Structure 1
Amino acid sequence: MPAPLVTVIIPVFDVRPWLAECVASVRRQTIGTDNIEVIAVDDRSRDGSWEELERLAADFPELRVHRLPENSGGPGGPRNFGLDRAKGTYVFFLDADDYLGDEALERMVAMAERASSDVLLGRMATPPGHRDRAPKSMFGRSADKVDLYKSNVFNSLGPWKLFRREMIERHGIRFPEGVARREDGPFTSRCYLNAEVISILADYDCYYLRTRPDGSNATSQRPDYPALHAVAADLVAIVADHVPPGPKRDHLMARHVRTAVLTLFSAYWARELTPAEKRETFELARAVLKDCLTDGVLAKLDPRRRLMSHLIAEGEFEAFQEALPDLLKTESPAAVVDGERVYRPLNFFRDETLRVPDSVYDLTDRLAVEHRLTSLAWSERGLTIGFEAVLPDLSDRPQTVSVIVRARDGKTGHHVEATPAGGGTSFEAFVDVSKAAGGKALADGLWDLSVSISAEGVRRERRLGARRAESVETAADSHEVRRPGGSVVATTFFSKHGNLGLDLGERVHSSYPSPRLVSLRSTTTSLRVVADYPPPKDARRTEAAIVLARGSARLTMPTAVTVESGAFRLTASLSLPILRVRPGAWEVRAEVRIGDLRREVAVVNQKGRPVQLRVLPRLTKLLAKLRR
């Protein structure tokens, strides 16, 4: 019997109300149950989950059920038990209180096979009526291969992913056992760091992450602080073992400081722990930070987390306890501008006793820019851009807003003044193609459009477009606009990242469709080309002629233009031989003039490929005889 494509491993402990739906979601997989094996491992449940598993297995041959001899203390034990028995090319870990989208495994396996993925993250979602815990920052778009150090995938250390089993076994990766919470972090970290290809499937909800109504998820229970600090120390050690010091290590370590260490210091910690327990957990955290807190890591933290980390690392226990209630608040004190730097004046800011460095409070490089594109409107002179923009941390100060039209190479940028539109944070900017370059016309080429916003000498620039109103059309939109010396075709478009761009002169986006070849007949004495060309959307005068092109050489063929079936029919004839038609490949093109715009475009065949005419050398011999 062939090995299954996927082994789905389900750890089970006191989950009877959700177990049937979980298993049913696996059974519904469109990949087919013959491509799946399911291993469910009961960790000595007390609510009848084991009996429910046995009932489900009786009607589901691909479901293999096992029961551990005694409770292992966490989901790591059951997952390892399943891994030891898995036969699939891939393994997927599914918690028994969650469920899969029907096409999840089919889509993920197809992508993993195409991309040779070692780890594949499928988009996660939250069922209606549940608290949203699904990670989102890494699911902006699908990608066959992402960079661990440039993407957000390391923010998701949950095990609900597709893993290549051979990679897991080759590196001997297993879950920590006897740990009730965050045991998945060390396993997933090791997989990420040993993977050659990490992929993201972002166009389908693969996994539904449920919050139990009774709050009995492991993450809702009282924290075991010593165990959690041990996991944090393990996470830090794994990164240190795999990644040398530098920006890449700092990128990963910053995640562990934020989510594995600092999240333990919550209102619960402040309210429920005894003074001795607080001191113990503080010192455990200090030991972890000692091994990972560099200037590079601090720079990746916001001022609140930076201050918490600094006080812990410096052993300032009393100051930490004093500051924590304020640092846990959602409100922030108003920012302070000092020269070209912006600071968040949190506890002990410029306090003479503790002397916390200003860099801990520095907000300058993290200043947020809230912006949204709201409208695009063309006129005969240019483009009117409607948008919203504000520096929220400096919202109590006057702010100056403009649009920057910047050449794609980044070397040339022109400011276009923005004016308030409707009050608040709404603005309009008119990009006059004839004057936007410091009073001169913008040159042909690709231009990026950004918003620039400044307050008290502090300026920030962000690309426009990725955040936009639903009413903004994202399809490329071409228009003829006037500038000195004639008109030009200007096209607004959005990049693959959603950013707004402007194409002047059709460098990439052509408003001229390609003529479609109808017939081409060639003899030793004549050449006849017939092509159809769609008329422009407006009533501008249109002229066209068939052209033979080879390098810089051009030969315009006498062309008759008629209208047939709503299209311009171009019929061009040429008597041969012609001395200027040299042997080799000649492109068949059309010179099209619409209004005062003139363009040369390729004639294409029915498959959309450019048409070429090959002139054979024997014609050259014939021409030579005629010349003699």
Structure 2
Amino acid sequence: MSSVNEGVVTVVVITYNDAERVSEAVTSALAQGDAVGEVVVVDDASTDDTPRVLERLAAADPRVRVVRRAGNSGGCGTPRNDGIDAARFPWLVFLDSDDVLPPKAVDALLAVARRHDADVAAGLCVRRELPGGREIPWQQQLFTTESVHDGVARRPETLWDTLSVNKIYRREFLLSRRIRFPDGAAHYEDFVFTARVYAAGPRLAVTPETVYVWHVRYGAGQASISLRRDRIQNWQDRVTAHQQVLEIMRDSGERDLLVAAQTKFLEFDLAVYLRELPQRAPEYQDLWWRISREHVRAFEEEAVSRATPAARWRTAVLLGRERQAAGLRRLAELAADPPRLPPPYAGDPRRPLWDEVPSTPGGADEIVLDGLADAPIERLPWYVAADVKAGRRLLLELRLPELYGRTAHAGPQRATVELRHRVTDAAHRCEGVWETVPGGAGRRAVVAVDAGALCEDGAITTWDAWVTVTFRDGETVTRPLRAGSGLRRLVRLGRRGRVLLIQPHATHSGCLALRVADGLAGMRTVVAGRLARHTRR
């Protein structure tokens, strides 16, 4: 007796010159079970060993069908469109050849789609960082519970999910609405495709199950499009794709979706690039500023007013300051997640300002941090820095500035530092008490770290530092600790007289992390790594 799920889904895998990884992707699709009737692999004219790998996969399992393009399309959209055209089954799932489907992903998507008679069903995607293996959920706030929605206009936060690969689609829905990916060398094609799907008003089901594993390979020879943010063309491509998204939303007649798409850009897209902008060359910064200002200047006023306070302030700086006067490092802090606002603090508690400018009060060139004076404690852009003190113990001296009078009013009481293992869920906590700094400069707390508790036999571990501030009324906020002074290699004796090598350092985003080598084996690993780097120079 056959199952009702047997052979109802086509998984479309696209590949180009990916002989080393395509087999894992196809195998993960075949392993989904009886629901997968076929795996259509579209080879975008590979010139490596990919065609021979696909021949072997097709010979081993009759469900594998290979569609080979005569010429390379230059992007991901055309091969996915070829897969839509070639599919024989009523449901579609997309998979890239360098990613995988986790076990039971197709069953989870198909079940929720059928349960709610949906045109599209979406699930959680996790970004798996390789080679380390750390997994970070993508837009997790959208996938907390199972739900169903007739269109997305009443759930505009759906627009934050711009992925095409964490979903199952009723093929007839795509064909009847003529929904396709942009052809050719278009980048960020997912943005445009998902906008077309959302604008078509699908019945959308959502599951909290993990349905896609997105492999992020740092240090790879050829980074994916989304990781090439050091190239100004990447930003131009992203803005171009977003312009197409806005056109799609305008044509749909759903003004709320148009405004929501603009607000999402202010909240997310701008912030991602602003965090890294201080590290770019001046020529990149100038072009980025010009492209961004031109794009954002055309947004609806309502899109800005709907944004969070930090996003409104970032937008005001972009539109109201030239790049040279904007304070890029401070702006990058304000673009962090969660946002942080370091000193100096211009203006006063009644009228907090981004900076001091030579103008009359209330002048057009003033950038007022509207909403800061009365924002809830958890929404304030708290900034906590840590100086590493090298004494008999490893000490962290924490500094919490006076934020326009809000710090004194909230009354910080306790500081809890949590050191989180970079890969596992392990965490170690230590506490300190906040003291007032003379002169009204904020608060100070000293926390002692048990470095021995961070060790693993013969291994090097990395711990990210976070701090939870507990206020007078019991409210708390948690923020990553910013790296201050004292970032130098330290040698300490740990438990049972073991030698510890401790390296406090600033991460790529300026946050504090501790790298700990336990014992002689760990130290040998550190030395070997340093020698290898010198050898390569």
The TM-score range, normalised by the shorter chain, is 0.5 to 0.7
Judged with a 3 Å threshold, the aligned counterparts in structure 2 of structure 1 residues 77 and 365 are, in CA distance, closer, same or farther, namely: farther
Distance 1:324 1:180, change over 3 A: farther
Aligned residue in 1 for 2:85: 84
The whole-number CA distance in structure 2 between the counterparts of 1:243 and 1:85 is 32
Amino acid at match of 2:291: L
Partner of 2:280: 271
More helix by share: 2
Aligned to 2:378: 369
Distance 2:346 2:281 in 1: 38
Q: Secondary structure at the match of 2:210?
A: coil
TM superposition shift of 1:48 = 1.9
Number of the residue aligned with 2:68: 67
Q: 1:262 to 1:16 in 2, by over 3 A?
A: same
Separation in structure 2 between the aligned mates of residue 36 and residue 321 of structure 1, nearest angstrom? 59
How much has 1:370 moved relative to structure 2?
Answer: 8.2
Residues 46, 254 of structure 1: CA spacing in aligned structure 2 closer, same or farther, 3 A cutoff? same
- The 5-angstrom pairing of residues 326-337 of structure 1 reads 326-329=330-333, 331-333=340-342
Residue of structure 2 in register with 1:467 after alignment? none
Query: 3-state DSSP class of the match of 2:12?
Result: strand
Aligned 8 A contact 1:121 1:199 in 2? yes
**What percent identity do the matched residue pairs reach?**
22
Change (3 A) 1:349 1:187: farther
Q: What is the alpha-carbon distance in structure 1 between the residues aligned to residue 183 and residue 274 of structure 2?
A: 24
Tell me, in whole angstroms, the C-alpha distance in 2 between the residues paired with 1:301 and 1:370.
Answer: 9
Greater relative contact order (Cα 8 A, min sep 6): structure 1 or 2?
2
In structure 2, C-alpha distance between the alignment counterparts of 1:138 and 1:144, rounded to whole Å: 12
Q: How do 1:306-345 and structure 2 match up within 5 A?
A: 306-313=312-319, 316=321, 318-319=322-323, 322-329=326-333, 331-333=340-342, 343=352, 345=353
**Structure 2 partner of 1:346:** 354
* Matched residue, 1:13: 16
Structure 2 unaligned residues grouped into runs of 5+: 381-399, 413-431, 435-469, 477-537
Secondary structure of the 2:407 match is coil
The 8 Å contact of residues 182 and 231 in structure 1, kept in 2 or not, is answered as yes
Structure-2 change in CA distance of 1:76 and 1:338 (3 Å): same
1: distance between equivalents of 2:318 and 2:250?
20
Structure 2 counterparts to residues 169-318 of structure 1, below 5 A: 169-179=175-185, 181-202=187-208, 204-215=209-220, 216-221=223-228, 222-224=231-233, 225-245=235-255, 249-261=258-270, 263-265=272-274, 267=276, 271-272=280-281, 274=283, 279-303=286-310, 305-313=311-319, 316=321, 318=322
- How far apart, in 2, do the equivalents of 1:352 and 1:338 lie? 12
- For 2:66, what is the secondary structure of its paired residue? strand
Match of 1:141 in 2: 145
Deviation, structure 1 residue 392? 11
TM-aligned CA deviation for residue 25 of structure 1: 1.0
Displacement of 1:138:
0.8
Structure 1 pair 72/7, CA: closer, same or farther in 2 (3 Å)? Answer: same
CA distance in structure 1 between the partners assigned to 2:183 and 2:375 by the alignment: 39
Cα separation, 2, equivalents of 1:332 and 1:223: 26
Q: How far has the Cα of 1:320 moved from its partner?
A: 5.8
**SS of residue matched to 1:397:** helix
Q: CA deviation at 1:8?
A: 1.0
Cα shift readout 1:532-555 (whole Å, capped 9, x = no counterpart) = xxxxxxxxxxxxxxxxxxxxxxxx
Q: Secondary structure at the match of 2:217?
A: coil
What stretches of structure 1 of length at least 5 have no aligned partner? Answer: 372-389, 402-421, 425-452, 465-628
> Post-superposition shift, 1:130?
3.4
1:112–1:461 distance in 2 versus 1, CA, 3 Å: farther
In the alignment, structure 1 residue 399 sits paired with structure 2 residue 406: no
Matches of 2:278 and 2:409 in 1, distance apart? 41
- CA, structure 1 residues 130+268, in 2 after alignment: closer, same or farther (shift >3 Å)? farther
Considering only CA atoms, is the larger Rg found in Structure 1 or Structure 2? 1
* Counterpart code for 2:10: T
Change (3 A) 1:400 1:213: closer
Deviations 1:26-68 (A, max 9, x none): 11113x16x4221111122344222212221111211111222
SS in 1 for 2:193: helix
